[in-house]
Structure 1
Amino acid sequence: MRFQTLLAVIGLGSLPVSHAISGKSFTGWDCCKPGCAWSANLARGVQGVPKVCDINNNPLTNALNIQSGCASGGTGYLCDLYIPTPVSNELSYGFATMTAANCCKCFQLTWKSGAAAGKQMVVQIVNNLEPSGDVKANDIVILTPGGGNGPNESGCRNQYGRNWGQNNGGVASSADCANLPQNLQGGCYWRYNWARGAINQWNIDYTQVACPARLTSISGCSA
């Protein structure tokens, strides 16, 4: 099924199309409070604040003033609601990390290489990054349980008692997803069952699109 037909089926309607940007996809899940839930990262025009959860994945109020669970004494964590979800064999929804200027915006990405080549995903940005190492300014880090905690090793350890896999890249196989808490396992299996591989450093093209209600109803923000 072609993407425009998929949009009609899921009720997304016609999306604004802009010039495609090329980059690479990565995975990450550090359990920390989403970076877009800090006032310094919310640009003018953003409505709402990305949801922040307590240690038991219950949404918290007054998210802007809550300290991240990655810090000593912090109580704000990444909600398990942010796991990626397949809509069909060719389309998924999810959330992602990009530079702060993109907080709460949505992007439609198409994989151009790797086992997911030709597949598409609509993501909303709820976390921010500073490009470093293999991750460049035009890349998108998809929030994926077991996808690697990057430099923030304390978040998942504080919330769940441990990290999974390598800091960069995360778990190495579908079998390793069984080591994650049950509420996160579906998001981990998504990478291997739907995307059919590690995802990291696969080429993508993407454009900004209107955010579907299915994503904004989870995040609580839009731009």
Structure 2
Amino acid sequence: MFVSVILSTLLGVAAAQVQQAVMAKTYTGWDCCKPACANALPLRPDIIATRGAAASCRADNTRFPLQQSLLAASACNGGAAFLCAAYQPVPVSDTLSYGFAILMGGAAGPANPACCRCYEAQWTSGAAAGKKIVVQVVNIAESSGTGNDIGAGDLILITPGGGVGPHPEGCRAQYGQRFANSWGADYGGVTSRENCANLPDDLQGGCYWRYNWAGGEVNGWDIIYQPVTCPSRLTEISGCAA
């Protein structure tokens, strides 16, 4: 009977893990805007005390202190807070990368429970099939008006040169007219490894990641993902953990 109880418990845990897994697609984006999970939560001090808020940066990519970051308006709304260059993806091994993501669907605000959560995604199609990426969600976006076939539950990997989406004003404000034609298509971004050399120096590494590690544009590739504990390498950058 003892063995039966253990087996039943293990099967229950396995079933719960399967239920948590989500089948979706990956896309890319980098609009230089302050992440939604970095905004002020004046009515939810409990969230700040327990989960924290994602970091945002000044135009020179120096990080704002938490209280200043919470109150600073996004550069995409005429403010001074930007997406930090540190949010670009990095390889950990030949088969694993770390990065940050925009989760599609749900309320696009800092109280969204998905803010600061981490997920492990494995590609099941595309050039990266079989490879994994652990991402932390620092932004939430509604599914409508995002271009392509992006739907609820999809992950937009925050990747330099990945497309500015509906907010081209952010990168113009941060990097100026010199790079106005460097960001590629609004949805999908640059289309070749060579285009990465046209981006600002501090963003080129994350752009090359798409082609050197992932092996292609990443957009529309199938994944299956599930929640995991955030690695410290990500939480040290974001300043938050759910």
Q: TM-score, normalised by structure 1?
A: 0.88
Residue 179 (1) aligns with residue 191 (2): no
Matched pairs, number: 207
1:207 corresponds to: 226
1:52 corresponds to: 56
CA shift digits 1:24-58 (9 cap, x unpaired): 00000000001111236998655211111000000
**Residues 1:171 and 1:103: Cα distance change in structure 2 (over 3 Å):** same
State the identity %: 52
The correspondence of residues 70-219 of structure 1 with structure 2, limited to 5 A, is: 70-72=76-78, 74-98=79-103, 99=105, 100-132=112-144, 133=147, 134-161=149-176, 162=180, 164-219=183-238
> In the aligned structure 2, how far is the partner of 1:41 from the partner of 1:219?
20
Confirm or deny: 8 A CA contact 1:149 1:170 kept in the other structure: yes
**Residues 1:41 and 1:50: Cα distance change in structure 2 (over 3 Å):** farther
CA shift digits 1:94-122 (9 cap, x unpaired): 00001443100000000000000000000
Question: Structure 1: which 5+ residue stretches go unaligned?
Answer: 1-15
The residue identity in structure 1 corresponding to 2:136 is: Q
**Residues 1:185 and 1:125: Cα distance change in structure 2 (over 3 Å):** same
> In the aligned structure 2, how far is the partner of 1:22 from the partner of 1:140?
10
- Determine which structure has the larger helix proportion and give its number: 2
Stretches of 4+ moved more than 3 A in 1? 39-46
- Superposition CA RMSD, Å: 1.9
> In the aligned structure 2, how far is the partner of 1:103 from the partner of 1:137?
15
Question: Structure 2: which 5+ residue stretches go unaligned?
Answer: 1-15, 106-111
Q: TM-score, normalised by structure 2?
A: 0.81
> In the aligned structure 1, how far is the partner of 2:223 from the partner of 2:29?
17
CA shift digits 1:37-84 (9 cap, x unpaired): 123699865521111100000001221110111122x10000001010
Residue 221 (1) aligns with residue 236 (2): no
The residue identity in structure 2 corresponding to 1:155 is: G
2:37 corresponds to: 36
The residue identity in structure 1 corresponding to 2:183 is: W
Partner SS for 1:36: helix
The residue identity in structure 1 corresponding to 2:166 is: P
Confirm or deny: 8 A CA contact 1:35 1:41 kept in the other structure: no
**Residues 1:110 and 1:120: Cα distance change in structure 2 (over 3 Å):** same
